[in-house]
Structures are given as C-alpha cells and as structure tokens.
Chain A
Amino acid sequence: MTHHVETHEEAANDRVMFGFWVYLMTDLLMFAILFAVYAVLHGNTMGGPAGRDLFKPELALAETLILLTSSFTAGIGMIAARRGIKRQVLVWFGITFLLGLAFLGIELFEFAEFIHEGHTMTVNAFLSSFFVLVGTHGLHITSGLLWLAILLAFITKRGLTKANVRKLALLSLFWHFLDIVWIFIFTVVYLRAFV
C-alpha cells in the first residue's frame, strides 16, 4: 500500500473544499425554506392575477438557457485553470461573467415590468413569496458576479497562483450550485404555473 503524505498546503486545500460543500448545503436549506414557503403561499393571490397570467415562459426559458451555458463555459474555464493557461481562463470566465450579467438583466427586466404594472411584493402573499424566492437567487448571482469580477482582476495581476485556482474552483462550484437551484425555480415557479 502506498502511503500518500499530504503537504500542509494540500491538507488545507482539502479542508476548504469540504467546508465549502458544507456551506453550500446550508445555502440549499435556505432555498428549501423559500421553496416550501412558495409552495404554501403561491395560491394566495387574493383575487389578483396568478403566475399563469403574469409569467412569460419565453423569458424564463431564455434565462435557463443562458445560465446553463454560463455553467458550461465556467466548466471549460476550470479545465484551462487546472492546465494553467491564463489567457483561456480569462476568456472563458469572461464569457461566464457576461452570460451571468445577461441573466440578471432579464430577471431585473421581468421584475421591473411586474412592479410597473403594480404587481409588487407587498400586494399579496403569492407575490411576496415569488419575489423573495427568485430575488434571493438573483442576489446570489449578483454576489457570484462580484466575486468573479474581483477574482479575474486578481488573476490578471497575480497570475494563476495555487490560491487563485482554489478560489476559482470554489467559485465554479458556487456557480453550478446556483444553476441547480435555478432549475428548481424554473420547474417549480415557471413551469408549474402553466401546468
């Protein structure tokens, strides 16, 4: 049996990865609460329009495709990062960033339209739970984009150091996680409204 001796740094890497997974699970539980709340409250429109009357399925589909593609480019970027090709990392994660921005833009456009038509989150319980569930996801995307922008700036400056590659790995994990949560939002919120 060969015994692999871990260096101090490898052990730290391993711990951070594991800890981040545990963090993601806690975040998932927070979304679980929001999904449960939406499931309980989505019918309470108090006579106002329901999801079926408000949502535009083509917008949600566009958001889904954009976010899935961004996850794909993040994955390719990660391969480049492991190989230590800085230019490719910047390009692929740059695309990820732009796609994320596009996703956020569409979401904000949808929100703005609802608010403009008077469907704000204070109107009824359905809208409260819709805005907070989808908005929390949007907030996560925003913080992911902020993180990505800063990380890319540091990679340009300091290069693909071990610490930066580790941060990139955590970030792409976060990004895929948000993708999965979005799939659930797409199904539970948007698709279910038209069933």
Chain B
Amino acid sequence: MKEFWLGKLNSHALPHEWFTILGSISFIMLGLTVIALLTYTKRWKWLWNEWLTSVDPKKIGIMYFIVGGFMLLRGGLDAIMIWLQQSLSSGASHGYLSAEHFQQVFTAHGNIMVFFVAMGLIFGLINYIVPLQIGARDLASPFMNTLGFWLYVAGVVMVNMFFLFGGEYAATGWLAVAPLSGKAFSPGVGVDYWIWSLQISGVGTTLGAINFIMTILKMRAKGMTLLKMPLFTWGSLCSMIMAVSVFPLLTMTLFLVFFDRYFGTHFFTTDAGGNAMMYTNLIWMWGHPEVYILMLPSFGVFSEIVSTFSHKPIAYYKSNVLGMIGVSTLALSVWLHHFFTMGASAEVNSAFGVATMIIAIPTTVLVFSWIATMYKGRIRFTTPMLWFLGFIGIFALGGISGVLLAIPPVDFQLHNSLFLVAHFHSTVIGGVLFGIFAGLNYWFPKIAGFRLNERIGRYAVWCWIIGFFVAFTPLYVLGLMGATRRLDHYDASKGWQPFYIMAFVGGLIIAAGVALQIVQIIASFIQRKRLRDTTGDPWDGRTLEWATASPPPSYNFAVIPQVSTRDAYFEMKQLHTPKHAYEDIHMPKNTASGIYISIFAFLAGFGFVWEINWLAVVSIIGIIVCLITRTFNEDSEYTIPAEVVKKMEKAQAAKVRTEHGSNSDDEADMGLIEFVKTVLAWALGMALSIVRKKR
C-alpha cells in the first residue's frame, strides 16, 4: 500500500550529505526571504498578474534572464567545486568530495550550464529583442511562449530537486552515455532526474522554436524582406530552425532511455540485443547541433554590436547571412566527430573529420565580416565592444583547437582529455556566454530604461578574459600531458597539481568577474537617474528596437514602422519619416494555463522519477485537460483603442521632453571605491534609522 502511494520514496532520500544539506538550506532561506518580502510589501497579486501569467515576450524575456542568471551562479559554484577538488586531490590527499559526488557535480555543471544558463539566457534575448527588431507587437503564439518558459522553469526545478528535495543526481556525465545510464549500472534516481529535467525543458524549447520561426517568417514589419532583417534576427532564425530539426531527436532519445529504465525495454542495454553505440549516435546528433543553436544568436548579437559601435552598416551582410546558414547546415552533419574512437571505419571518420573542418570556413566568413565592419569605422570601445573583442580572441583559440581535434588521428590521442574540455569551454564561454553578456550590456538600456555602468563593466570583462586564460591554458597543457577529463584523483608523480591549482585560481578570477557583473547592475541601479535613457536610442543604433521608447510600451510600436532598407531605424533618423495615424491594437490576454500545465508536467516527471505511478497518470490527465480548456477558450485577446494609444504616446513624448538628454559619456559612472562607499553609507543610514525608531 505504502509502495502504491509513495513509490520508491522514503526518508533515506532526504538530503543527508553536507553539500546537499547546505544547498537545500540556502535555497529554503532564499525562498523564505522572497516570500516574506512579497508578503510584507503585498506584492503577491502584482507578481501573479503583472509577471507570472504575462504573455508579453518582454516580460517573459526578463524572467528568463532572472532564472538563467541564478542558474549561472549555481552552475558556477559547481565549476569552482570541481576545480577545488582537482587542485586538492593529488597523491595521498583525496580532496573533499567522494568520487560519486564529484561525478554528480560535473554532470550537474554541464547540464545546468547548457540547458538552463545558455539556453535560458539566449531565449531571454530572443524573446525581448526579436519582436522589437522585426517591428512586431507580440509573438505568433503568445500562449506557447509562456508555456515554453514555464516548462523551462519546471526543468530548472527538476534539475535541482536532488538537493531541494532528496535523492541524487546522475553521475554519468552531461549526456548520460549508455549503457552507464541504464538501470543495470545506475540504479538510483539520478539518471531519472536527468531524463525529466531535460525532457520537460526540451519540449519547452521545441515549442519556443516553432513559435519564433512563425513569428520571424510571418510577422515582420511591412517592407522588411528576409535580406533586410537585422542580423540578430537572422541568427535567431537559423538557431530556431536548427532547434526544431534536432530537439525532437533529443525528446525521442530520452523517451527510449526512459523506456529502458522504466519498462525494461532493450534499446541501449548490454543484454537482449540492445545497442549502446546507437545511443551515442542519437544523442550526439542532437548534442552537436545544440552548441550551434546556442552560438548562432550570439553571432547575431556580435554583428549588431560591431555595426553600431563602428558607426557603419555591417560589411558583407549577405556573406554574413550565408555564413550563419552555412554553419547551421553543416553543423547537422558532423556529430560523429565526438566519437572517432568508437570504431567506425577510417573512411567514415575521415568524412566527418573533413565536414568538421569545413565548418571553419563559414565561421571565418563571419569573423571577417566583423573585422571588415570595424575597418575604417569610428569605433567606440564600450563594454559590449570589449566583450566582442574578448570573444574574438577566445573563440579563435577554441576554433583552432577544434580544427586540430577534427583530425581523427589527433583525436585518438586527445579524445576525452582535458584538451577537449579546454577546447569546448573556449568555444562556449567565448562564443555563447560572451555573446550573451555583450547582448545584455548592449540592450540593457532598452530593457531597464537606464544603461549599465561602463567602468565596472570594463573591470568585469577583464576579469573574465584574464580569468579565462589563467583557468583554461593549464587545461590545454594538462590535456597534452595526458590528463583525462573528469578525474577526481590523480597520482602525485604525474606532476599535474600545479596546473590544476593554476586553473582553480583562474576560476576564482572568473568568479570575481561574475561578482563584478552583479556589482555593475547594482551600481547602475543606484545611479539610474543619471544613466537614464530618455531617447530610446542611447547608442545611436541602427535597427528597429531603438525606434521605440526604453522600456517599450506593452504594444512595442504605436505605429508599425515601414521598412525600406537594412538599417531601418538609422535610415529613419536621417529622413524623419512622419508618423501615421494611430489604430486599434489587438493584444493577447494574460493566461495562467502555461503555469498549470508546467506544474502537471513537473509532477508527472516527479512521479516517473520515484515510480509513483498514480501521480504520473493523474498529472498527464491534468495536462490534457488544461490543454483542452485552453484551446477552446476563444476569449484570448483584448483591444487597446486608438485613443488610448494616442494618449500613452503623448505622455511618453512629454516625459522625453522633460528629462531631456541622455548621458553616454562614462566619466561620472561610479567606480568600485565609490560603490563601496555608497553601499556602506546606505547600510549605515538604514542601521541608524532602525536604532532611532527603537528609541
């Protein structure tokens, strides 16, 4: 009976290791603080109505940033834990983590960084910026967008469940290779948590991708032909098309692993005719394109930034577009280079090796397009531009080591070594993370209404760049010395320890960079009045997102702009095109269906993890019922009358007139010392006022 209600759940599952207890306590404290704060300020209703149930892509974008940002800290903590263990655990010392825990930590690090940091932040940027860039008021399917976001959140919770609630995480590496991920070798719930966190968020990604393809292809402003689209939108389009081409593969593969574990089928098992190598193929057919899915929007971000800050239209626009299309097509045909050593024939290996090397060509086209844009431009070295320059250096390093690894004989030497780890961190940190940071710095004034502090921003960039090289150069060297990845302990006689310690120090420098980024946001918030962007166009931008107010009204554009050239807004500024008459605007209504469906999806996953069958069945029925009610609800839109739009626009124009002039000189941005002083003064003031009140 107990087994029926609780499945495999019992009190042993609760957190009992020091780091899981620490994790669950810190999360509970954080949760309680947030709840207390919301209750104290009576913000629950506001939170629900204005944010959680919102279908506005701008608000959903911001929510993606918040969740993704937290996950960056969470995944970063894992990274520091890995580095610390490896710098301690040499010879007689075995570090502070057991082998099992160490494996769980690096698995979680990989999953969180790829799925919940990179994917989350990229989706945040696409949500916020793409509709603005193409002159749309909302997305093709606003409901699918909130559903996608909440499924992502359900995945985030699921991946953290092992310490929030109990159990363990997968100890298999981020792709859970078979047969290790099978029931025979991983009997615990770790792999099940892995399956369901990826499955739920992966479905959300597919929905999001379908939605953005519809939006970009069907909802562009009049006159914006495909070859007049801004490059960030192009990058996003390529990325989303890749996502719909490979995420179904992930979904199905995960289902097959799930069937193996739950129903006892034999797809990837070692017995009864299962084929574990097929798993490696299937998962990498998704896994390799996945990194390009993350990278293409980021390429687009760089194109926008380089063009704006060089004060020139992008050079070789068509080649740039072709480069992105080339990368996204070729990326689908190289997956086998992840397992040259698995024993395919030399011919097959060479074919995939060559295909991999060919990808360098369209990528290089992109890099040359950016460099040519800078050539003879009036370059402003703002923070986004610095992130871009850092990216060029680090990404080139990653690209070159990648071409090296694409040669099968070399790969046989370096397979599974730290050289590989250093390689993909070069591409992903340089190519994806720097792109996201650059984009956030660039579009922050649009999102928040004030720009970010430039001085502290620069410190953060330099910490990241220096930290990166200090942390990953030793990994390249270690890889060449023969250190394999994922080692929780190594022999002292190897002489590797100094390199591991250096990598750990690099990790600390990167951590300082992250801390500075947080300081940057707080410092900018303190100085928000001075940094306010009243014009909506703080950087002298070229694309449509700068044509509307910062932050934009819920309907983005009162009058949908007419586009006739590539840098549509830049052209408009020169020509002063008159505005047309206002019209009624149709906007989607808020909905909580996405939240309900995601809660049921989470519960279904939870039921499957702990083999609580009734819960899984009930939750699946819940999902179906929610979907049916939603699709037959025909009252999903409301109209803003033209009169109201006119009033809102007039109010905005008046606001711009009173708060005239935006500051883009960074002389008065507060530095670190001033920041510390301000914060201390504020804290002291608070303390004093509390003391006075008590008296």
Contact = CB atoms under 8 A, between A and B. Distances in A.
A9 to B, nearest CB: 9
A29 B248 contact: yes
Contact of A26 (B248, B265, B272, B273): B248
A131 B259 CA distance: 11
A64 interface: no
Interface string A122-135: 11111011011000
Question: Range of interface residues on chain A?
Answer: 35 or more
Interface stretch (A17-25, A67-75, A82-90, A98-106): A17-25
A122 B248 contact: no
Nearest to A147: B628
Given A22-B244, A124-B266, A30 B251 contact: yes
A134 to B, nearest CB: 13
B252 A30 contact: yes
A56 interface: no
B214 A44 contact: no
Contacts of B247: 26
Contacts of B282: 33, 36-37
A15 interface: yes
A130 B252 CA distance: 15
B388 to A, nearest CB: 32
Interface residues of B, number: 37
A34 interface: yes
Interface string B620-640: 000010001001101000000
Contacts of B251: 30
B153 to A, nearest CB: 22
A44 B275 CA distance: 9
A123 B141 CA distance: 44
Nearest to B219: A15
A46 B269 CA distance: 13
A167 B264 CA distance: 38
A54 to B, nearest CB: 15
A181 to B, nearest CB: 13
B253 A122 contact: no
A125 B218 contact: no
Contacts of A163: 634
Interface-centre pick from B219, B252, B256, B275 (highest chain A CB count, 10 A)? B252
Nearest to A19: B214
A108 B380 CA distance: 68
Given A40-B278, A163-B634, A122 B265 contact: yes
Contact of B264 (A16, A33, A122): A122
Interface string B118-144: 000000000000000000000011000
A15 B213 CA distance: 10
Contact of B259 (A27, A44, A132, A154): A132
Contacts of B634: 161, 163
A91 interface: no
B217 A18 contact: yes
A146 interface: yes
Nearest to A151: B632
B218 A37 contact: no
A125 B219 contact: no
A27 B244 CA distance: 10
A40 B280 CA distance: 14
A113 interface: no
B140 A15 contact: yes
B273 A45 contact: yes
Interface in B205-224: 206, 210-211, 213-214, 217-219
A14 B218 contact: yes
Interface string B239-250: 000001101110
A195 interface: no
B218 A15 contact: yes
A34 B252 contact: yes
Contact of B265 (A25, A34, A132): A132
Contact of B272 (A15, A30, A46): A46
A93 to B, nearest CB: 17
A165 interface: no
Given A22-B213, A41-B274, 11 more contacts: A16-B141, A19-B211, A19-B213, A23-B210, A29-B249, A37-B256, A41-B278, A44-B266, A125-B272, A129-B267, A132-B267
28 contacts: A11-B218, A19-B140, A19-B210, A19-B211, A22-B210, A23-B210, A26-B210, A29-B245, A30-B248, A33-B252, A33-B253, A33-B256, A33-B282, A36-B282, A40-B278, A41-B267, A41-B274, A41-B275, A41-B278, A44-B274, A121-B263, A121-B265, A124-B266, A125-B266, A125-B272, A125-B273, A126-B273, A132-B259
Interface of B: 140-141, 206, 210-211, 213-214, 217-219, 244-245, 247-249, 251-253, 256, 259, 263-267, 272-275, 278, 282, 586, 624, 628, 631-632, 634
8 nearest CB pairs, A to B: A44-B273, A125-B273, A128-B265, A29-B248, A33-B252, A122-B264, A19-B214, A26-B248
